[in-house]
Structure 1
Amino acid sequence: MVSSADGAVSAGGAGSGGLSTPADRALFRALRRSADCVLVGAGTARDEDYRGVRPRRPGPDGRQPGPPPVVVVTGSAGLDPGARLFTDTVTPPVVLTTTAAPADRRAALAAAGADVVLLDDLSPTTLLTALGRRGHTSVLCEGGPTLLGALVRADVVDELRLTLVPVLVGGPERRIATGPDPLPVPRALRLAGHEAAADGTLLLHYVRATAGIPAAPNG
């Protein structure tokens, strides 16, 4: 996830791409290469014109494993079958939706090459269970804030890779994770690593801590 120094997740009308720096893009590619799949909300996939993950580099044995699929979460199946997500990819995308989504939309996405998976609901537990059954246990979530917020609330986030970019954005921009209410007790993280790029970009690696931190006193 990428954020400005004052907490914005987008800038200049260009989504998170308006904030990304060379160091962030290098980390972005490395994380994708190591993941089983890339999980993203439909709004982010549309707004940032997602395409498939680029092929991985050959390993020490010379083999070149296929890139991980982009997995899109959408309750309405409201994706454009002509988008780059479907037309500019090596590995077909996976669309997680429900039987409540219009059948014609689901059929159009399947015809465009997507692996359309019907679930009872789109709760974090249901999503991760479905992905686990497919062998996707290392799940890289790239947002957006609503999806990440749901994962945080469900307490299924084990690591956070946060890029802080040295710019101020101001305005009403959202944070990296949003939801209807704050957590009753803030969830503690432990800093596992950090790197500062020459341009001032900070690459922060947090992991789950063993216990929560005390809630702030009322008033």
Structure 2
Amino acid sequence: MSDSTAGTDLTALGPVSTTEDGGLAQYYAYPENLSSCWVRANFISSLDGAATADGRSGALGGAGDRAVFRLMRELADVVVVGAGTVRVENYSGAQLGVAERQRRHARGQREVPPIAMVTRSADLDHDLAVFTQTEVPPLLLTSRDTAADARARFAGLAEVYDCSGADPAGVDLGAALRTLAGLGLTRVLAEGGPSLLGTFIADGLLDELCLTIAPTVVGGGSKRIADGHRELITRLQRRHVLTDDEGYLYTRYSRD
């Protein structure tokens, strides 16, 4: 459809084909032969831009969103989240079925991706589900000032890594990604929260955004999917837009 007044060509997106069982993975495949981390963020938003409803992102989701969420975990080497999101969303370890594990094995991946938590202070309770309900130990990507103490406090519960840059009290996401790449975990899935995504964006480290748009409006004062004090405008290319019978949109945008 051509809008001659604006001089812009617009395309009406409609039902072109149905994704068959097992075919969804082709829409979300990571680049092959990665030598460094590829950072994919997966978030959900309402039509009016809210990243949460009732304080949780899960309240916006539907069956299709949960299917995409599960697929992305299957494809990832590691799931990266902020400590605040772990607490609010009551994170546990990734849970995958037999078929998902077999497909991971065929791709040369470990059976289950670990949860990697970004936390300057490592101030986390030992009884959190991320420690008690997991098949593989989570990773703590923390600061140099905290790492030694955290290794002692979380011995047997988590693997602790010093991911500071110039500031020994902070976590440098570039250093964190180099740490993950050194562990062979290059297919990164960032799930939250808004502050972590905002930092990935501001540091120029986000390669891909998969955004589910829920057919709801929320109002109120909910945060956007990205939060922070620094801006970096980054142009992304549309890779696909999928939909379902409930009216959700599943978008994928990435760098060139």
TM-score range, shorter chain: 0.7 to 0.9
Post-superposition shift, 1:104?
Answer: 5.0
Which residue pairs with 1:194 in the alignment?
241
Total equivalences in the alignment: 205
Which residue pairs with 1:74 in the alignment?
119
Greater alpha carbon shift after TM alignment, 160-169 vs 174-183: 174-183
Greater alpha carbon shift after TM alignment, 47-56 vs 94-103: 94-103
TM-score (norm 1): 0.87
Which residue of 130, 142, 166 maps to 1:97? 142
CA deviations over 1:78-123 (Å, ceiling 9, x no partner): 1111111011111110011123228655422224x21111233412
Which residue of 44, 57, 76 maps to 2:85? 44
Given that residues 53 and 70 in structure 1 are in contact (C-alpha distance below 8 angstroms), is that contact kept between their aligned partners in structure 2? Answer: yes
CA deviations over 1:117-164 (Å, ceiling 9, x no partner): 123341221111111111111100001111111111111111110000
Give the secondary structure class of the aligned counterpart of 2:145: coil
Change (3 A) 1:156 1:119: closer
Given that residues 66 and 91 in structure 1 are in contact (C-alpha distance below 8 angstroms), is that contact kept between their aligned partners in structure 2? Answer: no
Q: For structure 1, which runs of at least 5 residues remain unmatched after alignment?
A: 210-219
CA deviations over 1:7-49 (Å, ceiling 9, x no partner): 1111023x11111111111000000001110000000011101
Given that residues 58 and 64 in structure 1 are in contact (C-alpha distance below 8 angstroms), is that contact kept between their aligned partners in structure 2? Answer: no
Q: Are 1:207 and 2:254 matched, yes or no? A: yes
**RMSD in angstroms over aligned alpha carbons?**
2.0
Q: For structure 2, which runs of at least 5 residues remain unmatched after alignment?
A: 1-42, 166-170
Amino acid corresponding to residue 102 of structure 2 in structure 1: P
Given that residues 77 and 187 in structure 2 are in contact (C-alpha distance below 8 angstroms), is that contact kept between their aligned partners in structure 1? Answer: yes
Which residue pairs with 1:58 in the alignment?
102
C-alpha distance in 1 between matches for 2:147 and 2:76: 31
Q: Are 1:143 and 2:185 matched, yes or no? A: no
Percent identity of the aligned residues? 41
TM-score (norm 2): 0.75
Change (3 A) 1:60 1:116: closer
